[in-house]
A = this chain, B = another copy of it.
Amino acid sequence: MLIGELARRTGCTVQTVRYYEAEGLLPPSMRTEGNQRIYVAEHERRLGFIRHARELGFPLKSIRTMLSLVDRNDRSCAEIDHIAREHLSEVLQRIARLDALKQELERMVAECHGGQATECRIIEALSDQSHEHAPFRDDRPG
């Protein structure tokens, strides 16, 4: 299986596959005489794992850790469980933040009745200096 086929099967791009290899998440593959990568089923499984984890929002760093635990055949899955729980709690926090944000945005657009930008309610809402200035850290990805 060449890289294009693997990419098609796993639903990611050719560049991404090469990127994962360069990052050491996928082991280097064999090559044809013409230097093209050849993949086997094991690569597809591993890439499928990475892909699914990425879809769930795990950062590559966590995925790297999980893969190394699996590779080492670690005695317990406690660490994997920990990573998943941490990630879940981040997701919950993001949802909470986005919900607050959604409400503010909904309020803003609801109050806009058209008119001049100088008297736009959205601008006013955004200009409102009364909200607290918590040390702002936009720690997306969200």
Question: Contact mask A105-142 → B, CB, 8 Å, 1/0?
Answer: 11011001011111110110011110101111010111
For A133, the closest partner residue in chain B by CB is B11
Smallest Cβ distance from A125 to chain B, in angstroms?
8
Asked whether A142 lies within 8 Å of B94 as measured between CB atoms, the reply is: yes
Structural contact, B142 and A12, CB atoms closer than 8 A: no
Chief secondary structure at chain A's binding surface: helix
Q: Is the CB of A123 within 8 A of B54?
A: no
Instruction: With CB as the reference atom, state the residue of chain B lying closest to A75.
Output: B116
A99 contacts which chain B residues (CB < 8 A)? Answer: 95
The size bracket of the interface on A is 35 or more
Copies of this chain, complex-wide, total 2
A136–B57 Cα distance when bound, in Å, is: 12
Task: Determine how close the nearest CB of chain B comes to the CB of A46; give it in whole angstroms.
Answer: 9
Is A2 engaged at the interface, CB distance under 8 Å to the other chain? no
Q: Which residue of B lies closest to A11 (CB)?
A: B133
Q: Which of B53, B66, B126 contacts A66 (CB 8 A)?
A: B126
Q: Contacts A94-B98, A126-B66, A136-B54; is A120 near B11 (CB within 8 Å)?
A: no
Chain B neighbourhood of A12, CB < 8 A? 136
> Which chain B residues border A108 with CB–CB below 8 Å?
84
Pick the 4 closest A-B CB pairs, nearest first: A142-B142, A11-B133, A77-B120, A140-B141
